[in-house]
Structure formats: structure tokens, C-alpha cells
Chains A and B, each alone.
Chain A
Amino acid sequence: MKRGLFLPVVVTFGFVFLYAPIVSLVVFSFNQSRLVTVWGGFSTKWYGELFANPQVLDAGLLSLRVAACSASIALVLGTLCAVALTRFRRFRGRTALGAMVSAPLVMPDVITGLSLLLLFVAMESLFGWPAGRGEVTIIIAHSTFCMAYVTVVVQSRLSDLDLSLEEAAQDLGAIPVRVFFDITLPIIAPALLSSWLLSFTLSLDDLVIASFVSGPGSSTLPMVIFSKIKLGVSPDVNALATIIIGVVALGVAIAAVLQSRRR
């Protein structure tokens, strides 16, 4: 057992390492001067500039819409997939389904993005749909890779679930569909919620895949931020970062309070 100073020192360093960038983002979002590295005084003007920027606002709304849709689609498809993989014994295509649903977890984003774009282009030339890429194609792409995460989370929860609960419901006269909605769903609801939130976050955060499959006029927030960053450091990005971090911290705090109250 490592006693003494070694562990606490390394751990402190580790947390400093994790949070130093975040702290610097927040601090310099209130910087008077444009230089993100030298303190020129306290100011909230960058927040004002941020909200006055239509490009950022539109991209933000688009990203939120896309994230909400993708997370919901991924939740439904991923849950169906998890149910099929944990509760059904053998069926044609079971190995295929299992492999396809976990592959996006290990495939690099660039390949996922490229392949979907090429698909959309080919589909467009064959069927005429999707006509030009945009919100819909991004939603499809995000749903596909988020589905993998939902399946992993829900599958793990389902395999922990006591089968005798579902058997008891069947014994009392409920057909399997009824059993799922009456018994299984309410009990695994927390897992469903957390996988929805996970998908939402992943979709909101995605840059690479969205860059491939988006079209003109449908830039997501990460894409807008990325093009801004490539031009150089910009304090309104800091402001945006601070807002996002604030929302996330608030969300996590609320979740922690709810959890402890339940206990």
C-alpha cells in the first residue's frame, strides 16, 4: 500500500492537469483584452459578442436540434437492439447485429464520416434522396454511432435485471410486449435516461462526422467553433466554453443531489 506523499501528490497533479485548461478558459472569457493570455481587466463583453453572432446562435440551435433527435432515435434503436441481444436466444443475423452495433465504438470517426458521406452521395445519384446534405444526414449519422453506446449501456442493465420479474408478469397473463412496457421499461428507466444523455452529449460534441456529412448552410456548433479556432484564439469562444461548462456543472450537481436524496 502506498502511503506517504507519493499518491496525494500525483493525484493533485492529475486533477490540476484535468482542470487547468478549463479554469483558464473560464478566466480568460472575462478578460478585457482580446489576448487570451494576458489579463487586461474584467469584462463581460465577449458574452455580448457571442450572443450577437448569428452564425454561432444558428449553429447552436442546429446542434441542439440534431442532438435531441439523434439521441431519441438512437435510444429507440439501441434499446431494441439491446433487447434482441440479451433476451432472444438465437436468430438469423444475431452475430451480424452484434458485430455491426459495436463496430462504431472502435472505428475512427473519420472512417465513419467518410463512409456515410459516400453513401449519401451514391444514394443521391441513384434515388435523388437525400437531396443535398444537411440536418437530416447529420441526424442519421449521429443516430448510427450513438446507437452503439445506447446498446452497450442498456444491454448491461438488461443482463443485470432479474429475469424472474419478467417471468412473473408473463405468468400473470401479460404478453411479452406488455411485460416490456409494464415491467422492464420502468425498471431500466434510469439506464435509458443516462444513455439518452450520453448520446446527446456525443452528438453535440461531434466534429469529424458532422464535417463529412453536413451540407452548405447546416453547420453544427463544433464546426463553427473549429473554423474560428483555426484562425486563431478568440475570446468569444472562451465565453461559449464557460457557458457550456457552467451548464454541465449545474447538470451534474443536480444529478448528484437527486441521487443522494433518493438514497
Chain B
Amino acid sequence: MLDHPEIAADSRPWRDPAARPFVRIRDVSKKFGDVTAVSGVSLDIYKGELFCLLGGSGSGKSTLLRMLAGFEDLTTGTIEIDGQDMAGVPPYRRPVNMMFQSYALFPHLTVWNNIAYGLKRDHLPRAEIAARVAELLKLVKLEGYEARKPSQLSGGQRQRVALARALAKRPKLLLLDEPLGALDKKLREETQYELVKIQEQTGVTFIVVTHDQEEAMSLSTRIGVMNQGEIAMIGEPHDIYEFPNSRFVAGFIGSVNLFEGVVTEDEDDHVRIRSAEAGGDIYVSHGVDCAPDQVLWWAIRPEKITLTRDRPDAEFAGANLIHGIVEDVVYLGDMSVFQVMLESGKRLRVTKANALRGDPDAIGWDEPVWASWSGNAGSVLTS
């Protein structure tokens, strides 16, 4: 086993313009007859990353994964892995292994034979195969289960066998198709943590396909959000969440409040937006590249908004301030979610961590409140 290689999460090679990408996907598209599953996707993935392709059904993420594995031909474009063009290379000759959504464990083989299958294809000596299988069983914590058949395992155990089998050949690239989908919530959380640990230990580049944004956020070094066959945004989880590049990405990850407005002041260091929905002005403390009087949207996350009973001091000459009535309060234990009905008829979603136990001053139903936020609390979106 490789000894603590440099973790991509620390070195962040994608920020280095001189770094060579491990997987280059250039202008790839795939058509099934008239249906375009993937369209014009270009993507660079660096060695040692845990990259997540995130999207809903029909977004093309699974098709892209299958093209990386070699199960689908490319209609256009190229895929390079470690500098080598994969055109015409069948799956059994790629340095890539895949963990299937249904696990695809061979039902007639034992756990040991399932894991050893890939190693046997390489015609390795018996002793080496035995050593490697033992190593993997230890890694996924399934020692003692060698002689069982897949039908005798639980869902979580099968998942671990599938992972061990996929890692057996020390692939350069490991593809995972919805690896945690079939597990219940508790198991999912545990497995998420284990998966990241295994990836860091082995240093293998992971590409995970998922529709679960929480999973993507917790696992990945970077996320590629896909929508209808195209890449909507690529970035670190933090960037995707805090600095989305479009309404789609903003709405897809977590919850968001969107306001439509028109730019009234456009300077280098700030922008002022007038929004009827907000019933006031929004002051953004950075410059935005846009045309005069352009219609755009402003997005703010629920946790970035503060609710007060009294009107706060106007910091931005009356901007970043809305009045409304609390329509609903949902207590979730760790936080509370407020639905505030604004004068414009729009609903604002605000969340607040319950830092004080049994806060007597907590805001309740039907109270009039002021919602306020800072100058850089939200993002301006032009699409």
C-alpha cells in the first residue's frame, strides 16, 4: 500500500496553471439516436482528487462515467487518462476500475473470488493474489468473510466487497456510480468518512457520480455540477456553495433565496440593485461585470440573513434591509428555519443555529421582523 501520498485536497493542483491533469475530457458528447445525453463537456481532473459529478437524473453524469470506463463510445471529443488517449481502448484494457451502483458482485463466486477476479485476469502468481486479497479485506474491514457468497451478505457488506474488488488491481482511476445510494442514513454517514479515508490512504483518483448534494459536499475535493448533459459549474465545495455561477447551481445545492433586480449603480467597488421582490435596494460590496440597466439575480443563503425585531442601523443607506412577517417556524433541533412573508408577497427562507438552549427571546410566529445582511453575503448571478 502506498505510504501517505500527497493528498490533492491539500495541494490543490487545479489552482496551479502548470499542473498536468490526470484525466482530460475534451469536448465530449454522446448521442443515443436523437437524444443527446452529454453535450460538449470539457473537464480536467488531477491525480489524487476525489472528484464528484453531481446532477439529477438525465443530467448525463452516468453516461459520462460509462464513457470514462469504456462502456460507451464517444460521439465526439477525446478522453485522455494519464496522457494516453482512450479512443478504441476497451474496458478490459483501461487502467480504470469501476464500482457499480448495483455492486454487480458475481453471485456464484465467494467474496474471496470476487475480489481476486481482476487479479487473476492479470495472471499474477497465487501467493501475490492471496496477499493482496488479504490486504484488501483488512482495508474494508471484512476479514473472515472470504468464504461467503454475496447472497449471504448485508447491503453494507456487499458495498465493501464491491469497493475492495474495484481497488484490487491498484487502478489509476476509480469510478464510483452512486456508491452510497443503497445504504440507510446512518450507514451512509459512516461509509462517507471511510471512503474518504481509503482514498487518502491509497492515493487513487476517485470520480464519484451522485445525485445527493450532501454526499458530494462531504466527499469531494471538487464538484462538477451537471445539468442536461452539460457542465454547469466546476469548483471546490466551498466555491460551489458560496459563489455559484448561475441560478441553476445556486438552487441545486442547498436552499437559496433569489431576487430579480436591475442595476441602478455600477461602480468598480460596489453595485446597487433595485429589486421589487425585495421591496428595496441591495448593496453588493464588490464590482460586477454587467451592462447598464441589466436584469440580473441576486442569491443569498438562508444562514447569511439576520432577523431582528427592531430595525437595525442602516449601514448601506437603506439597502440590505427588508421588513416582513414570520409565517412559519420549523424547529429542527440544531437549527430553526423561518419562513418570512415579505410585503412584495415573496417568501424569504432564513435559518438560525440554536446556539442558546431555551432562548426566551426567540422569534416566533406572526411576529414582524427585519431581515438584514452584509454587503458580501450574497452572489450576483447573470444567468
Contacts and interface: CB of A to CB of B under 8 A. Distances in A.
Interface string A199-237: 000000000000000000000000000000000000000
Contacts of A183: 106
B102 A171 contact: no
A95 B165 CA distance: 39
B92 A165 contact: no
Contacts of A182: 117
Interface string B92-124: 110011101110101110000000011001100
Contacts of A173: 92-93, 118, 121-122, 169
A172 B90 contact: no
B21 interface: no
Interface of chain A, main secondary structure: helix
Contact of A172 (B71, B107, B169): B169
Interface residues of B, number: 24
A167 B92 contact: no
A168 B121 contact: no
Interface of chain B, main secondary structure: loop
A167 B100 CA distance: 9
Interface string B37-72: 000000000000000000000000000000001110
Contacts of A162: 102, 104
Contacts of A174: 92, 117, 121
B243 to A, nearest CB: 36
Contacts of A165: 104, 106-107
A262 to B, nearest CB: 12
Contacts of B121: 172-174, 178
B156 interface: no
A174 B93 CA distance: 9
Contact of B104 (A167, A175, A178, A186): A167
Given A167-B71, A186-B108, A175 B92 contact: yes
B251 interface: no
Contacts, number: 58
Contacts of B168: 172
B106 A169 contact: yes
B91 interface: yes
Contacts of B101: 164
Interface in A134-177: 162, 164-165, 167-175
A253 interface: no
Given A164-B100, A178-B121, A171 B106 contact: no
Contact of B69 (A169, A171, A175, A178): A171
Contact of B92 (A164, A171, A187): A171
Contacts of A169: 106, 117
Contacts of B104: 162, 164-165, 167-168
B208 to A, nearest CB: 16
Given A173-B118, A187-B107, 13 more contacts: A164-B101, A164-B102, A167-B69, A168-B104, A170-B70, A170-B91, A170-B92, A171-B69, A171-B96, A172-B97, A172-B165, A173-B169, A186-B108
Interface of B: 69-71, 90-93, 96-98, 100-102, 104, 106-108, 117-118, 121-122, 165, 168-169
In the A-B complex, the 8 residue pairs with the closest CB atoms: A173-B121, A172-B118, A168-B104, A164-B104, A170-B91, A186-B108, A171-B98, A170-B92
